[in-house]
Amino acid sequence: MEASQSSAQQQEPLYRRAIFTFSGSHFLNDLVTTGMVPALVILYKHAFELNYTQSTLIVLLSYLTSSVSQPLFGMIADRKPRVWLLPAGVFCSIMGLALTGIAPSLPWLLLFISISGLGSGAFHPEASRGTHLASGSKKSLAQAIFQVGGNAGQAFGPLIVSVFITYTGIKGLLWLIPIAFISLLITVQILPWLKEELIITQRHKTTQKVKGANNYLGASLLSCIIILRSWCQIGVVVFLPFFMDSLSVQQAEILSFVFVGAGALGTYLGGVWADKIGTKQLLILSMLIATPFALIFPHVHGVLSIIVLLFFGFSVLSSFSASVVYMQRMLPQSIGLASGLAIGFGVGAGGIGSVFMGGISDAFGVSTVFTILSFLPLVGAIIAFFLPKYQEQL
C-alpha cells in the first residue's frame, strides 16, 4: 500500500495553474527589485548627486532587507504558514519602488527601497513553497518555471528603464502603482488552493515523518556558490553602464537585458537538464562553462562583447532553479528556510558585494571590478565539487 502511494506521488503531475501563477507573480516581484533597482542606480546617482559608494547603498538596502528577511519569513512560515504574505509581499515590493518616484531626498529613497525589499522577502518563501507543493514529481522543472518568471523580470527591468524611465525620469516609476493592484488580482485567486494544500501537508507531517535530516554544512557551501553567482549578476547589471561609458545609458541597459535574458533561458533549460543529470553536476558544469566567458569579457569589444555577454549570462545563471531544489533537498525539514536561503539570503548578499565593488570603483576604477568578477565562476565551480550528494526524490 505504501509502495503504491509512493509510486503515485512520484508520478504526480504539475499543477500548471498554480505554477504559472507563482511564476507570473515572481516576474512582477523581481521586475521591480533585482530587475529595475540595479538598473536605476545610474539615474538615482544623477538625480540625488551621489558617488559610487552612495549609489550602491541603494542596491545594498534593497537586497539586504530582502535577503535578511527571507530566511526569517521562511522559518516563521515553516512553523505556521501565512499564505496572505504571498499577495501582500508582491504588492509592497511594487508599491515601494513606485514611491521612490516622489522621494524628496536620499533617506526617503532608502526608506521606500527598504519597503520594497521587505515585500520581496515576504513573497519569496511562500511562492517557492507553493511551487514545491504544485510540482508533483517534477521538482527541478517546476522551480525552473518559477525561476524563469523571476529571471525574466530581472531581464526586463533594465529594458524598461532603458526604453521608458530614462525618458520620463524617476517620476515615471509612479506608473507602477496600477501594476501593484494588478498583482493582487493575480495572487489572491490561488490562495484557496494553497491553503488546502498546506492543510494536507500538515496532516501528512503528523502521520508520516519527513525523510532526511537537515544538512547545514552542505547548505552553507551551496549558499557560498549562490553568493558568488549573485555577485557576478549584480556586478554586471550595476557596473556595465559605467564600464562601457562610451555607450549611452539606453544601450548599456539593453546589454544588461541581453545578459539577464540569456540567464532566464539558461534557468529554464538548466531545470530541465538538472532532472536528467543531477543538480550537483549542473552546478559544476554551469560555473566551469561560465569561467572562460567571464575571463575574456573585460578584454573584448563591439559585437564580440555582446556574444560573450550572452553566453556568460546563459551559463552562470543556468543553475538558478537547480540550486533552489538542491537547497530544499539538503534542508528537507525546513522548506521555507531552504527557499529563503537559496532565493533570498544567498542572492541578496549580492547587495553587500555591490557596495564592496562600489568602493573598489571609487578607489581603483570600474575596470578593476570586472577583473575581480571574471574569477568568481571558477571559485564557485571549485566549491561545488565539495557539495554533498542527495537522493533525487524528496
CATH of residue 129's domain is: 1.20.1250.20
So what's the pLDDT on residue 394? 41
Among 370, 364, 371, 361, residue whose Cα is nearest residue 51? 361
- The alpha carbon torsion through 44, 50, 52, 57 (nearest 10 deg) reads -70
Q: Which range of residues forms the domain containing residue 142?
A: 13-384
Residue 2 lies in a domain: no
- State the cell numbers at 4: 503504491
Residue 1's pLDDT band (cuts 50, 70, 90): very low
**Residue 374 gets which letter from DSSP?**
T
So what's the pLDDT on residue 5? 43
CA atoms within 13 A on the CB side of 49: 2
Which of 125-139, 202-216, 335-349, 352-366 is predicted with the least confidence, judged by mean pLDDT?
Answer: 202-216
Residue 4 lies in a domain: no
So what's the pLDDT on residue 27? 94
Residue 138 lies in a domain: yes
Tally of domains within the chain: 1
Model confidence over 124-178: pLDDT tens digits? 888 888 888 887 767 777 878 888 888 788 888 888 888 888 888 889 999 999 9
Residue 7 lies in a domain: no
Residue 197 CA from chain centroid, whole number: 25
Q: Give yes or no for a contact between 366 and 63, defined as CB atoms under 8 angstroms apart.
A: no
pTM over 0.95: no
So what's the pLDDT on residue 209? 55
- The beta-carbon contacts of 42-51 under 8 Å, at least 24 apart in sequence, are 42/241, 42/242, 42/249, 43/161, 43/165, 43/166, 43/169, 43/170, 43/249, 44/100, 44/109, 44/170, 47/169, 47/170, 48/105, 48/106, 48/109, 50/106, 51/362
Among 212, 219, 217, 235, residue whose Cα is nearest residue 342? 219
Model confidence over 305-348: pLDDT tens digits? 889 989 999 998 888 878 888 888 888 877 777 777 777 766 66
Residue 288 lies in a domain: yes
Q: How close are the terminal C-alpha atoms of the chain, in Å?
A: 19
Model confidence over 22-73: pLDDT tens digits? 999 999 999 998 888 888 888 888 888 787 777 878 887 887 788 777 777 7
Residue 273 lies in a domain: yes
So what's the pLDDT on residue 351? 66
Residue 393 lies in a domain: no
Residue 6 lies in a domain: no
Q: Percentage of residues in the chain with pLDDT exceeding 90?
A: 20
